Amino acid sequence: MTAWSLSQLLAGLHERIEQELALARKSFGHSGTKGDASQDVWLQLLSHYLPERYRAASAHIVDSKGAFSDQIDVVVYDRQYSPIIFKMGEQIILPAESVYAVFEAKQAINLELLRYATEKVASARKLYRTSLPIPSAGGMLPAREPSRIIGGLLCFESDWSPPLGDPLLNALRQNHEGSLDLGCVAAHGIFACDQKGCYSITPQGKPATAFLFELIARLQAIATVGMIDVRAYAAWLK
């Protein structure tokens, strides 16, 4: 009987993701089609492996004041406590309060696309989020301050040389409102920002798996989203 190997299981997960991203890059000639295929790979990874309380989708985000984000490739959101504002076919509108993380999914990382990703992240972070006191068995708990929305970039390859070096670090340090917290370059490694704002780059043999586990750890630290004021959205019915 062949013994189970956790190392091989985790390696196999990354290898599948890397192969699918490489296939999308090689097989499709149109840049938009390549991008859609890459986005789907990341969405499937998160949909299959994140705990059930989370969902991942391409979506717009709206707040109770009627402001919208840009279209975001990958939104990780709460499905246990928050409603979906609108869904028709592939079009999904999510309330800002439900959002844990937003990512852009691209074929390769470079300065232009990194700046583009920070603009997308900023469009989500600037939205207003309600938070109500929480009923509990011990009485009303105070409303939670909304947690910082995790922002990042997911891709297969890097246009820089070296792929994950000083040019990437310098670019990551240039932005504030849309600064990226976590990213994966599946062919090379991951980058992450700590609570002090310091970036680190980790060359990994299995970046996709490392990214997934780091994202889950950061979601655990957030715990859960605040209690949404549904009536603030219902006010738009008048």
Q: Which of 18, 97, 106, 120 is catalytic?
A: 106
Q: Which of 73, 78, 97, 181 is catalytic?
A: 73
Q: Which of 104, 157, 181, 206 is catalytic?
A: 104
What is the domain count for the chain? 1
List the structure tokens of 155.
């891709």
List the structure tokens of 139.
């009485």
pLDDT in tens, the chain (238 residues): 567 777 787 777 778 877 877 876 666 544 555 557 888 989 998 999 899 999 999 999 999 999 999 999 999 999 888 888 999 888 899 999 999 999 999 989 999 999 999 999 999 999 999 999 988 787 888 888 999 999 999 998 999 999 999 999 999 988 777 899 999 999 999 999 998 889 999 987 789 899 999 999 999 999 889 899 999 999 999 7
Q: Do the domain assignments include residue 199? A: yes
Q: Do the domain assignments include residue 137? A: no
Q: What is the pLDDT of residue 81?
A: 85
Q: Is 194 assigned a catalytic role?
A: no
Q: Do the domain assignments include residue 151? A: yes
- Tell me the torsion sign for CA atoms 55, 90, 207, 117: negative
Question: Could you tell me the residue range of the domain that residue 32 belongs to?
Answer: 7-127+142-237
Q: Is 104 assigned a catalytic role?
A: yes
Q: Do the domain assignments include residue 134? A: no
Q: Is 120 assigned a catalytic role?
A: no
Q: Do the domain assignments include residue 53? A: yes
Q: Do the domain assignments include residue 133? A: no
Q: Do the domain assignments include residue 77? A: yes
